[in-house]
Amino acid sequence: MNRLFVKTVIAAVALAGSSLAMAEKTIKFANQNAAGHPIIQGMEKFAELVDAKSGGKLKVKVFPSGQLGSDQANVTALQAGTIEMASMNSGIFASLTPEMAIFDFPFMFRNGQEADKVVDGDFGQKLHAKLEPKGIVGLGYYELGFRNITNGKRAINTVADIEGLKLRVIPNPINVDWVKALGANPTPLPWPEVYAALEQGAVDGQENPVATILGAKFYEVQKHIALTNHQYNPQSVVVSKKFWEKLSAEEQKVIREAVAESAVFQRKQARAAVDGALDTLKQNGMQVTELPAAEVAKLQEKMKPVVEKHADKVGKETVEALQAELAKLRK
């Protein structure tokens, strides 16, 4: 008998045996971004992988566009076990463990590849481990990307052009403080409320990666985008601890492997989408500006006191661990 055929049969039997040991389960997977966004593409890839690896026993239902509530509501639901999984900005979990706020520090990473090494290594895993006592298990990281500023009032060509703008920010202290440091007025708002706030003029602008700006159709209510790349956001892929502990070892293995594989796919999609997203924003009437190097240096200088202030809250050990990782990568 052909050896390849025998190996194939054995593999199929092994897969069937493991899937038979699994009970049928449906996993609700929540995120704030719209369908088609690279984050949602990663979640959909995860769903495909879980279905294949579990022999159809585990099903994942993706809920985009904040259908299951705001990020803050999703955190509570994860802890309660009323939703099984979510993907959200890692810095949001600073409300549970202060160390996670380090992922909101301005100008921390130079590029996505540098961020990959940090979040996929010991540093990223140790931070996720701190969520477990809070009822949430961190499984991996997707990429939201580098954030940029949009507004409906004026083009931003210098740091001074940011002064006086009323900007929506993610509701956490670091983002409030860096906006204040630039002389602008921070307005913390949950994501589902942002479009209406821009449309009604309650805020002048906001800041997000270009794919998110496009997915949310902010070009309909914003005229200008400045490519400041002032902050890089990893997205934590997390699961409710209450749900996780009910899974068998085989089911947990399927989910962990699917998160790791979908993260590689998702980051490729996110990085490939940037140029196309910018072109589409331009075609829809947005004016794009980039700060000269001297202005970027001013921007970084203005944000240094914010980093210093929050370094104390995050903890010296965490800050030094990240700095050591980055120093190794930059040799």
Residue ranges covered by each domain of the chain = 3-144+234-273, 148-231+277-329
Indicate if the pLDDT at residue 145 is higher than 80: yes
What is the spatial distance between Cα 3 and Cα 202, in angstroms, rounded to a whole number?
69
- Give the mean pLDDT of 273-286: 96
- Give the mean pLDDT of 278-291: 97
* Helix, strand or coil, per DSSP, at residue 282: helix
Q: What angle do CA 216, 174, 267 make, to 5 degrees?
A: 45
Q: Are 278 and 209 in contact (CB under 8 A)?
A: no
H or E stretch at 117:
helix 112-120
Whether 3-144+234-273 and 148-231+277-329 share one fold: the answer is yes
The pLDDT assigned to 61 comes to 98
Report CA torsion sign: 206, 209, 210, 212.
Answer: negative
What is the spatial distance between Cα 186 and Cα 165, in angstroms, rounded to a whole number?
8
- Structure confidence by residue, pLDDT tens digits, 1-58: 555 554 554 555 555 444 445 789 999 999 999 999 999 999 999 999 999 999 999 9
pTM of the model: 0.88
Residues 6+ apart with CB under 8 A from 146: 209, 229, 230, 231, 232, 233
- Structure confidence by residue, pLDDT tens digits, 228-265: 999 999 999 999 999 999 999 999 999 999 999 999 99
The pLDDT assigned to 12 comes to 52
- Give the mean pLDDT of 124-128: 97
pLDDT band of residue 272 (cuts 50, 70, 90) is very high
pLDDT band of residue 294 (cuts 50, 70, 90) is very high
Q: Are 184 and 166 in contact (CB under 8 A)?
A: yes
- Give the mean pLDDT of 308-321: 93
The pLDDT assigned to 19 comes to 47
What is the spatial distance between Cα 110 and Cα 292, in angstroms, rounded to a whole number?
17
Indicate if the pLDDT at residue 308 is higher than 80: yes
3-144+234-273 is classed in which CATH architecture? 3-Layer(aba) Sandwich (3.40)
- Burial 46-59, CB ≥16 within 10 A → b, else e: bbebbbebbbebbe
The pLDDT assigned to 5 comes to 54
* Helix, strand or coil, per DSSP, at residue 130: coil
* Helix, strand or coil, per DSSP, at residue 25: strand
- Structure confidence by residue, pLDDT tens digits, 50-68: 999 999 999 999 999 999 9
Residues 6+ apart with CB under 8 A from 33: 39, 40, 64, 65, 212, 215, 216
The pLDDT assigned to 21 comes to 59
Instruction: Report the percent of the chain where pLDDT is more than 70.
Output: 94
- Structure confidence by residue, pLDDT tens digits, 147-181: 999 999 999 999 999 999 999 998 889 999 999 99
Top CATH class of 148-231+277-329 equals alpha beta
The pLDDT assigned to 161 comes to 98
